[in-house]
Amino acid sequence: EILQTLEDTRQEAIIVFCSDHGDMLGERGLWFKMSFFEGSSRVPMMIAAPQMEAGLQTTAVSNIDVCPTVCDLAGVSMDEVQEWTTGQSLVPMGQGVERTEPVAMEYAAEASYAPMVSLRYGKWKFNRCALDPDQLFDLDADPHELTNLAEEPAHQGTRLTLSAKADARWDLAAFDADVRKSQARRWVVYEALRKGGYYPWDHQPLRKASEQYMRNHMDLNVLEDNKRFPRGE
């Protein structure tokens, strides 16, 4: 229906369909999103744009790639948005170029005892947490991630390669310290924020009644044009 509305109103648009995370639904005895298993971490991403007509390959990407991708498609420099972003534009992939950088994942929420990080590199997934042994899965041969290859002698080359990439990207001790500092800062004001004008975080679009209907401060011509469907020339 959204695509048909865009067609009916002759609007050019870049369309991105994605999700923030999946959920474990009892697999492996786990619930919710709090792991890097495919059921939790693998979500769809589809992008439709004239500059990407070759189509994204069926390969791993990340939600942090959305911002640089949309900026690239819109001709906006990332310097105007966030210079520190670690995502990459997917436009070259939409033109048939193969991705060479691993896809990174992080988790440090819901009372986790230490940050968890993961790299998806082709068929390989490498998981690391300071409190647990490394995990290495071959998703082609083992799509259900049942066999940890991190200690297998035949796969030490792959493990060392991905371990080096993880070390280059993350300092887990500093990551953990930053999380705890952030928690401490927020805890200082937690009680205060729950008093007075406290408002829950749940998404609930607020509507201004004065903007819903015709008022004297509105330009009637603009209002009528905005309400007409399909819009005229």
Mean pLDDT of the chain: 87
For residue 85, the model assigns a pLDDT of: 63
Whole-angstrom distance, CA of residue 183 vs CA of residue 189: 10
For residue 10, the model assigns a pLDDT of: 75
Pairing of strands 116-121, 45-48: unpaired
- Residue ranges for the chain with pLDDT beneath 50: none
Specify whether domain 2-197+205-227 bears CATH 3.20.20.70.
no
- The string of pLDDT tens digits covering residues 36-76 is 999 999 998 888 888 887 666 677 899 999 999 999 998 88
Full-prediction pTM beyond 0.75? yes
Report the SS3 class of residue 179. helix
Nearest to 166 by CA among 108, 225, 217, 116: 116
For residue 120, the model assigns a pLDDT of: 95
Domain residue spans of the chain: 2-197+205-227
For residue 36, the model assigns a pLDDT of: 94
DSSP E strand stretches across the chain: 15-18, 24-25, 31-32, 45-48, 103-107, 116-121, 124-129, 132-138
**R_g over Cα of the chain:** 23
Q: Which residues, at least 6 apart from 151, have a Cβ–Cβ distance to it below 8 Å?
A: 133
For residue 83, the model assigns a pLDDT of: 58
